[in-house]
């Protein structure tokens, strides 16, 4: 079992793990389209996420030069607005900004504070540095440090992104615990030797039958209780 003594630094994914990204984009859509129903909102949020995933994969595959998350989010907002029949540039920029006005999950702020009292806590996200400043401020997330994949000119799950956290910590990878609601993210962390903790969220990528993470928790609050008691 992973214990307090095994861990020097806790590294957190942010989008989906600490904040409700789909919910924030959905609110942006409902502001833009007051009469939109939940089903159509979900469809358009999926269009956004599909564009982001496709473009990040293009960058990772070397088929597109690196572009920051704010650039890709603006593209996604433009695509979503076009599907909704909107081409007003100000409306598109407002919709893109909704990707930075994300609410924390109910336990994110208090559990992060609990863990920060005993461990260095570091955010590690595919969001750009500019976006992370706004996301963390809006959600009230208080990090000891926040790192962006922008500094590696790539995106998770590329190993170079996780190595940002390892270099920042100045210790061996197995002294870092990566916390995420996405199994794909944790697999990327495992590949560079980091410890892993899956936290269940309403959105995310649950573990498969073949995954084996060091810790699994129903919530971040549960994870904090487990680590602080270990």
3-state secondary structure of 182: strand
What is the tens place of the pLDDT at every residue in 84-94?
A: 999 899 999 99
Q: Are residues 106 and 191 in the same domain?
A: yes
Q: What distance in Å separates the CA atoms of residue 216 and residue 119, rounded to the nearest whole number?
A: 19
State the CATH number of the domain containing residue 175: 3.40.50.1000
Q: At residue 42, what are phi and psi to the nearest 5 degrees? A: -60, -40
Q: What is the pTM of this model?
A: 0.95
**Mean of the per-residue pLDDT values of the chain:** 96
Residue 1 vs residue 79, higher pLDDT: 79
pLDDT of residue 13: 98
89 & 200 share domain: no
Residue with tokens 């209780």: 225
**Residue pLDDT, tens place only, 58-85:** 999 999 999 999 999 999 999 999 999 9
Of 100, 128, 162, the residue at which a domain comes to its end is 100
Average pLDDT for residues 119-142, to the nearest whole number? 98
Total structural domains within the chain: 2
The CATH number assigned to the domain holding 28 equals: 1.10.150
Backbone angles phi, psi at 56, to 5 degrees: -65, -40
Q: Measuring CA to CA, which residue among 155, 105, 101, 104 is closest to residue 127?
A: 155
CB proximity list for 219: less than 8 A, separation 6 or greater: 105, 107, 111, 199, 200
Two tokens, residue 80: 């979503």
Backbone phi and psi for residue 159, each to the nearest 5 degrees, phi listed first: -55, -30
Going by pLDDT thresholds of 50, 70 and 90, the confidence category of residue 2 is: low
What pLDDT score does 204 carry? 87
Looking at the fold, whether 64 and 118 belong to one and the same domain comes out as no
Mean per-residue pLDDT, 178-183: 98
Same domain, 166 and 223: yes
Q: pLDDT of 139-154, one tens digit each?
A: 999 999 999 999 999 9
Please indicate, yes or no, whether residues 132 and 195 belong to a single structural domain of this protein: yes
Same domain, 16 and 70: no
pLDDT digits (tens, 9 = 90+) for 198-230: 999 999 899 999 999 999 999 999 999 999 876
pLDDT of residue 1: 47
144 and 196 both lie in a single domain: yes
Let me know whether 14 and 125 are in one domain: yes
Beta bridge partners of 121: 10
CB 84 within 8 A of CB 44: yes
Domain containing 93: what range?
21-100
Last residue of a domain, one of 100, 129, 161: 100
Q: In what side-by-side order are the strands of the sheet with 195-199? A: 145-148, 121-125, 9-12, 176-180, 195-199, 215-217
136 and 71, same structural domain? no
**Boundary (domain end) residue, out of 100, 124, 149:** 100
Residue 163 has pLDDT above 80, yes or no: yes
């Amino acid at each position: 079992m992973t214990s307090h003594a095994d861990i020097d630094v806790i590294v957190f994914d942010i989008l989906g793990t600490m904040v409700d990204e789909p919910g924030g984009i959905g609110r942006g859509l409902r502001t833009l389209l007051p009469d939109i129903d939940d089903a159509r909102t979900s469809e358009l949020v999926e269009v956004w996420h599909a564009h982001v995933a496709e473009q990040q994969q293009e960058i990772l595959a070397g088929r597109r030069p690196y572009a920051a998350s704010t650039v890709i989010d603006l593209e996604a907002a433009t695509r979503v607005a076009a599907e909704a029949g909107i081409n007003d540039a100000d409306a598109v920029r407002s919709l893109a900004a909704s990707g930075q006005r994300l609410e924390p999950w109910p336990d994110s702020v208090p559990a992060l504070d609990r863990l920060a009292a005993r461990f260095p806590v570091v955010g590690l996200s595919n969001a750009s540095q500019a976006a992370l400043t706004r996301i963390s401020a809006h959600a009230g997330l208080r990090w000891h440090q926040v790192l962006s994949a922008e500094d590696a000119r790539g995106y998770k799950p590329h190993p170079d992104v996780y190595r940002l956290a390892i270099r920042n910590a100045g210790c061996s990878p197995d002294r870092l615990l990566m916390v995420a609601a996405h199994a794909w993210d944790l697999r990327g962390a495992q590949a560079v030797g980091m410890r892993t903790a899956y936290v269940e969220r309403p959105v995310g990528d649950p573990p498969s039958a073949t995954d084996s993470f060091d810790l699994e928790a129903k919530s971040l609050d549960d994870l904090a209780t487990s680590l602080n008691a270990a």
